[in-house]
Amino acid sequence: MPISVVIADDQEMVRMGFRMILESQHDIEVLDDVIDGRAALDAVARLRPDVLLLDIRMPAVDGLEVTRRLSELAAAHPEHGPRPRIVIVTTFDLDEYVHAALRDGASGFLLKDASPALLVEAVRAAAAGDSLVSPAITVRLLRRLAPAAGRPARTPRDPLTEREQDVVRALAGGLTNAEIAGELFVSLSTVKTHLANVQHKLDARNRVEIAAWAWETGLVTGRS
């Protein structure tokens, strides 16, 4: 089945451009494109897409509020099924915006000047339960914002093993799964297993939350 997508952006040209890029892929289907956050919430309830592409600054209800509301709805009503994976695509890379979106469970954060290939990759990653954040802001975001979050770092259900800590350090440094495997001299499947275990122990929704936890706790080299 193709990955179903709803696009929410108040600029028609942006919506058209995203639709053209995504619909050129055989495995992606755009169900609708809407002009604001309220319409995005309605489209999600009506169409139940796999992925929701959201701008931040939109009339009526902005993208951050949409992300927060969908997160709260999913937590309060799990019987309604999973919410769509959310990818923020915006011209604004203000740290507080990025952090708020990821804290509320967004699966990706891209700037609108990202390449078409990166947009497609982000949608596919989100649909697969993974995360993709623009490389230009990933490590900067986690390093600068995690200590300022104002929340205590979550406590793992069980302590992380030494190898799991190694994997998390590499992930928080911005490495992909393949790069982690190469650096630690393990197989890709081993890396995925370690990350799945860590995600369970931290009750994290995605790899971005795992990386944020690593910065918050000082697990990453260079933090006290």
Cβ(81)–Cβ(48) below 8 Å: yes
Which residue in 149, 115, 148, 111 sits closest to 133, CA to CA? 111
Alpha helical stretches, state H, 24-173: 37-47, 63-76, 95-103, 116-127, 138-145, 162-172
Span 37-61, pLDDT tens digits? 999 999 999 999 999 999 999 988 9
Q: What pLDDT, in 10s, does the model give residues 142-157?
A: 666 555 545 566 789 8
Over 90: is that where the pLDDT of 81 sits?
A: no
User: What average pLDDT does the structure give for the chain?
Assistant: 85
> What was the pLDDT predicted at 82?
77
Decide if 88 contacts 67 (C-beta within 8 A): yes
What's the whole-number mean pLDDT along residues 88-108? 80
Put simply, whether the predicted model's pTM sits higher than 0.95 gets the answer: no
2-26 pLDDT, tens digit each: 999 999 999 999 999 999 999 999 9
The SS3 of residue 66 is helix
